[in-house]
Chains A and B, each alone.
Chain A
Amino acid sequence: MPAVRLEGLTKIFANDAVGRRVARTIAAATGAPSLTAVDHIDLDVRDGEFFSMLGPSGSGKTTTLRMIAGFELPTEGRVLLHGVDVSTQPPFQRDVNTVFQDYALFPHMSVSDNVAYGLVVRKVPKTERVRRVGEALDMVRLTGFDKRRPSQLSGGQRQRVALARALVNRPRVLLLDEPLGALDLKLREEMQIELKAIQQQVGITFIYVTHDQEEALTMSDRLAVFNRGRIEQVGAPAEVYERPATAFVAGFVGTSNLLRDDVARAVVGQGGTFTVRPEKIRLAEPEDPVGSDETSALGRIRSVVYLGPDTRFVVTLDAGAELVVTQQNLVTSSMDALALEGKAVRLIWKRTHNYRVADSAA
């Protein structure tokens, strides 16, 4: 049985004249414009997996999360937690907990009171409460911080308190709404590893909302790519990256290297839309031989971006379209790479790396 099942889940918001969200009944009465934030989503999240909802802002991933938590009621469709329909249950009756983007710590309470909150309102006996709060703080490595106020903590520490406060209740599903968004890069990378480790340790289903494709790829067991209120693809990270189902997924998860219609016919030999990942393409001299199992295209290097370990080339194809090519800097230096600007080249890649994708609604 899936931990979370979404069936035809839909959320329509209406905005009043100055753009605030208003209730649907008001919108119907006043004719306010409405926005379909989530559009008939079907999804199964397996028990115990680290599942990411990836998409640009406004793609409906946070609204979906909020409907699972119970902060928003679905306009249509159902939310099932371990087989039970909770669509109309208030948040406090659902066996899920949330780590909020802004952490939402209670400023007038100490760290330990924040963490104990869920246990206090559920009337867990004091001795057990103290023990579980201690364990939760140990797990997020905040032992000894229990008397501090949230205002006395750093961003990373607040993040850990929010995590401990949610985990201490031992929910069957933990929802995380861009929890690392406010942290700097270094801390974010540390927390990614730590979050994944904690998830494996506690074995709770994590549903993780992010707009950062790298984050989703590194942490998830599976992920769903959201676009305009719909899910474009669900799969394991490698599957989504290597075999994007749509042009949108190809562009959002990785770099948009698309060959469409006439360009596709000229390069791949078939019509439709194809994508090829930048690291699969090899830069060669125009006169270099091409194998029978390879695709190739002639073009000219339009720009070169030196990235340290890699260099990124943008190549304008003679057939039209642009392709991004990344090459590891095994022997080249930045000077060598930058000198290539304007050079005529042949791009070569294996035929098996051409993926046909569906055109997205976008």
Chain B
Amino acid sequence: MTGGAVGRALLRIATGAVLFFMYAPLALVIIYAFSDTGTSAWPPTSLSLKWLELAVANTGLRDAFLTSIAVALGATAIALVLGSLAALAVARHAFFGREVVSFVLIFPIALPGIVTGMALSTTFATVGLPLGVLAIIVGHATFCIVLVYNNVLARLRRTAASQEEASSDLGADSWQSFRFITLPAVRSAMLAGALLAFALSFDEVIVTIFVAGGVKTLPIWIFQSFRLANQVSLVNVAGLVAILLSVVPVYIATRLTRDTGAIGRT
């Protein structure tokens, strides 16, 4: 065996170890979700869908899941509108404070969630917005906007402004130019940003705790049920759902923006 071959073998082992540490815990969650004996025995003796059935029947889990979906959809909708409009303004117009706007939009992603949560909770109490689903949506939107903003901005910077000029030159008013030229150019970037925003909102815990009031989202339900012996097997099913609803949107978003670079929190 040559030195190079030894090096390559070591590299393979190291890579395997890293991947194992990253993914074995996830695999465990999935296996337990389908194990007949739940978390009480290892290795599983037989596979079963009984936890899945119990999970569907559990009203607490089901409500938490639906709340999470509603929150994620709401936050995504706000992010989609505000993020896209902000990207259009920054990419296509020169105005006083443009760089500041850009920075202010990206900043919440760097801000510790605990600070965001605290600040939002205080603010909502001050302005009299009751804690609950609406408060969570607004809270999530603050850091979801940047995902749409970054994606749409990256796409707009790659799309020649002369296309919009050509449209205007050919007689299209601003609305027609937006509908026929700009929107088709950024549509997939908007979708990618929206999917990422959805995934980010869906598994958010820290900010949610501060503004949820009594409302439970799926991650909070998991967090609270995890220590209850009679719920622990359902938690694995909930975990599986959370994994799927994060991984699938991110995967699709990556494919949609494959040629544009920047998808994440850059």
List residues of A whose CB falls within 8 A of some B CB: 20-23, 25-26, 29, 69-71, 90-92, 96-98, 100-102, 104-108, 117-118, 121-122, 165-166, 169
With A23-B94, A23-B95 given, is the CB distance from A69 to B169 under 8 Å?
yes
Q: Does B262 contact A (CB under 8 A)?
A: no
- A245 shortest CB reach to chain B, Å: 33
Q: Does B176 contact A (CB under 8 A)?
A: yes
Interface core residue of B163, B173, B184, B185 (most chain A CB under 10 Å): B163
Listed A/B pairs (15) with beta-carbon separation below 8 Å: A22-B94, A26-B95, A29-B96, A69-B165, A92-B170, A92-B173, A98-B169, A104-B162, A104-B163, A106-B163, A106-B181, A107-B185, A117-B172, A121-B180, A166-B170
- Residues of B with C-beta under 8 A to A121: 167, 170-173, 176, 180
Q: Are A100 and B165 in contact (CB under 8 A)?
A: yes
- Residues of B with C-beta under 8 A to A118: 170-171
- A98 vs B170: C-alpha distance when bound (angstroms): 8
Among residues 158 to 199 in chain B, which have CB atoms less than 8 Å away from a CB atom of chain A? 160, 162-163, 165-173, 176, 180-181, 184-185
Q: Are B169 and A91 in contact (CB under 8 A)?
A: yes
- B60 shortest CB reach to chain A, Å: 47
- B15 shortest CB reach to chain A, Å: 38
- A174 vs B187: C-alpha distance when bound (angstroms): 32
- Residues of A with C-beta under 8 A to B165: 69, 71, 91, 98, 100, 104
Query: How many of chain B's residues have a CB under 8 angstroms from any CB in A?
Result: 20
Interface core residue of B95, B160, B162, B166 (most chain A CB under 10 Å): B166
- A105 vs B166: C-alpha distance when bound (angstroms): 8
Interface core residue of A69, A100, A108, A121 (most chain B CB under 10 Å): A121
Q: Are B172 and A102 in contact (CB under 8 A)?
A: no
- Residues of A with C-beta under 8 A to B94: 20-23, 26
Q: Which one of B169, B184, B185 contacts A92 once the chains associate, using CB atoms below 8 Å?
A: B169
- Residues of B with C-beta under 8 A to A166: 169-170
- B164 shortest CB reach to chain A, Å: 9
- B160 shortest CB reach to chain A, Å: 6
With A20-B94, A22-B94 given, is the CB distance from A104 to B160 under 8 Å?
yes
Q: Are A165 and B162 in contact (CB under 8 A)?
A: no
- B188 shortest CB reach to chain A, Å: 11
- Residues of B with C-beta under 8 A to A91: 165, 168-169
- A124 shortest CB reach to chain B, Å: 10
CB closest chain-B residue, reference A101:
B162
Q: Give me 11 other A-B pairs in contact (C-beta within 8 A), A121-B170, A169-B170 excluded.
A: A25-B96, A69-B165, A71-B169, A91-B168, A91-B169, A100-B165, A104-B162, A105-B166, A117-B180, A122-B171, A165-B166
- Residues of B with C-beta under 8 A to A29: 96
- Residues of B with C-beta under 8 A to A108: 184-185
- B122 shortest CB reach to chain A, Å: 35
- Residues of B with C-beta under 8 A to A101: 162
- Residues of A with C-beta under 8 A to B180: 106, 117, 121
Q: Are A97 and B170 in contact (CB under 8 A)?
A: yes
- A121 vs B167: C-alpha distance when bound (angstroms): 9
Q: Are A26 and B170 in contact (CB under 8 A)?
A: no
Among residues 50 to 67 in chain B, which have CB atoms less than 8 Å away from a CB atom of chain A? none
